């Protein structure tokens, strides 16, 4: 706090967190509200934006999403609960990591080693809580 006050023309302090927690943080000390005069709230990513983030992560790791995977992923993100555990972009990263692990298991079981199979994420690679209800898997 002292650094903020003594160097307010040269220092920018950014605090980030969930809306309710940030409100409690600011309210915890009478001097904080005057020191943090500006609040910027970013909306959660849409389901389509989360799919695009997942596609970006996939591309960075030399994977592609099958078209039906993309549509299932869109539905998956659309139904995802947006509570305090929702991680926004982190949800896309965790989903991608789960898909890669499931993909590795699927490829190991198939044993074919076909290049397309090695680099394409399918609907069955989605997290278990979704694949049971997935349109592509008949759920």
pLDDT tens per residue across span 28-39: 988 888 888 788
The residue that leads in pLDDT, 69 or 10, is 69
Predicted confidence (pLDDT) at residue 137 exceeds the cutoff of 60: no
Closest CA to 121 of 136, 108, 103, 105: 103
The answer to whether position 77 is within a domain reads yes
pLDDT classification of 21: cutoffs 50, 70, 90: confident
Question: How does the average pLDDT of the chain come out, rounded?
Answer: 85
Same domain for 122 and 61? yes
Question: Are 83 and 125 found together in one domain?
Answer: yes
pLDDT at residue 135 in the model? 46
User: Do 27 and 59 have their domain in common?
Assistant: no
pLDDT in tens, 51-76: 999 999 999 999 999 999 999 999 99
* Mean pLDDT in residue range 104-126: 87
* C-alpha to C-alpha distance for 51 and 38, rounded to whole angstroms: 31
pLDDT band at 130 (very low <50, low <70, confident <90, very high): low
- The answer to whether 87 touches 94, Cβ cutoff 8 Å, is yes
The backbone torsions φ and ψ at residue 28, rounded to the nearest 5 degrees and listed phi first, read -70, -15
> Per residue in 84-102, pLDDT tens?
777 788 999 999 999 999 9
Assess whether 100 and 60 both reside in one domain.
yes
Beta bridge partners of 65: 121
Domain extent at residue 126? 47-137
Looking at residue 136, its pLDDT comes to 44
Alpha-carbon span 4 to 55, nearest angstrom = 40
Higher local confidence (pLDDT), 52 or 81: 52
Question: How many domains are contained in the chain?
Answer: 2
Whether residues 6 and 52 fall in one domain: no
Between 30 and 119, the higher pLDDT residue:
119
């Amino acid at each position: 706090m002292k650094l903020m006050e003594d160097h307010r023309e040269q220092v920018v302090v950014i605090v980030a967190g969930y809306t309710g927690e940030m409100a409690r943080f600011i309210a915890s000390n009478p001097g904080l509200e005057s020191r943090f005069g500006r609040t910027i709230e970013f909306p959660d990513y849409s389901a389509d934006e989360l799919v695009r983030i997942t596609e970006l992560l996939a591309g960075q790791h030399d994977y592609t999403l099958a078209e039906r995977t993309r549509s299932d992923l869109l539905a998956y993100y659309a139904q995802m609960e947006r509570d305090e555990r929702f991680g926004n972009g982190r949800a896309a990263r965790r989903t991608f990591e789960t898909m890669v692990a499931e993909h590795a298991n699927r490829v190991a079981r198939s044993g074919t080693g076909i290049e397309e199979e090695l680099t394409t994420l399918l609907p069955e690679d989605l997290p278990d809580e979704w694949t049971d209800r997935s349109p592509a898997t008949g759920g």
